[in-house]
Structure 1
Amino acid sequence: MEPITELRPVNGPVVYGYLRLPRACAARREALVTALTGYCLQHELTLSGLFTERGNSENGTPAFVSLLDVLELPDVYGVVLPAASHLGPRNTATERRRRIEEAGARLLLVRRNRSHRLPVPSQ
């Protein structure tokens, strides 16, 4: 007899992490990675990779472009961020959010900050 599903390892929806750390130390990066990993475990998500932006935030940065590339893979559920601020300054964040949504991915935030809401893309 086959074991029931709950006794088999099952992968959750696939997500990719994204961090924007222009001036962060190694300890801060480690803490943010731990937060993303914990969030994914708690919500039964499979964190398949992490892209880290280390320079100034612009739409065409290598880490963000690479993130967009993996969002084209089949069965990718979304992008997980520690907070909305990791998308960058307001104009950059608006464009990045639009591009993530165009790729068909969900945007998941570990911490929602009331004072820094995700910008709503103009129609």
Structure 2
Amino acid sequence: MEPLTEQRPVNSPVVYGFLRLVRVSRARQDALVGSLAEYCRTHELQLSGVFSDRDATAGPASAAFTGLLDVLALPDVYGVIAPAMSHLGPKTIAAERGRRIEAAGSRLLLVRTPRTTHHAVSRSGPVRRHPRTTRVLDAES
């Protein structure tokens, strides 16, 4: 009889991080890398490297992003992780980069997902949650 899957060594899905670090202190950079590493640890992902954009004027094809696309072409790479969508750049650049990541056959994972709507909380009644809604509180970008 074969051992259970949980008892076999299984490789975690490989991901690469991407950070936009324009005028960011070393402490902030370390905290952001730490948040990516912690997310990967808790979600059983293998963080194999982190690419960083440091140029505020870089377009969608910066050197860091081009390097990221190159590693996404490697076999067995699951995707890209970023603290938030803003780390891919300003909205138009982030949207283009998101499309390129998906076109490479990879997933884009965000530690902190974008807020779509804000709901007012009634002070007079209980908070009602939708059955399939989960509130995620993760690291800040």
The TM tier, using the shorter chain, reads 0.7 to 0.9
The equivalent of 2:73 in structure 1 is 72
1:109 aligns with 2:110: yes
Bigger Rg, structure 1 or 2: 2
SS at match of 1:80: strand
The equivalent of 2:23 in structure 1 is 23
Structure 2 residue ranges without an equivalent (≥5):
117-141
1:59 aligns with 2:60: yes
* Larger deviation, residues 94-103 vs 54-63: 54-63
What is the alpha-carbon distance in structure 1 between the residues aligned to residue 74 and residue 96 of structure 2?
21
The equivalent of 2:83 in structure 1 is 82
Deviations 1:77-123 (A, max 9, x none): 100000111011111011101100000000000011316xxxxxxxx
What is the alpha-carbon distance in structure 1 between the residues aligned to residue 90 and residue 69 of structure 2?
18
What is the alpha-carbon distance in structure 2 between the residues aligned to residue 79 and residue 40 of structure 1?
11
- TM-score, scaled relative to structure 2: 0.75
The structure with the greater share of residues assigned to helix is 1
1:92 aligns with 2:56: no
Deviation of 1:49 (Å): 0.9
The equivalent of 1:120 in structure 2 is none
What is the alpha-carbon distance in structure 2 between the residues aligned to residue 4 and residue 93 of structure 1?
41
Amino acid of the structure 2 residue aligned with 1:40: C
SS at match of 1:69: helix
Amino acid of the structure 2 residue aligned with 1:6: E
Deviation of 1:2 (Å): 8.3
What is the alpha-carbon distance in structure 2 between the residues aligned to residue 26 and residue 9 of structure 1?
36
Two-structure CA RMSD over aligned residues (Å) = 1.7
What is the alpha-carbon distance in structure 1 between the residues aligned to residue 51 and residue 114 of structure 2?
22
The equivalent of 1:118 in structure 2 is none
% same residue: 62
Deviation of 1:58 (Å): 1.3
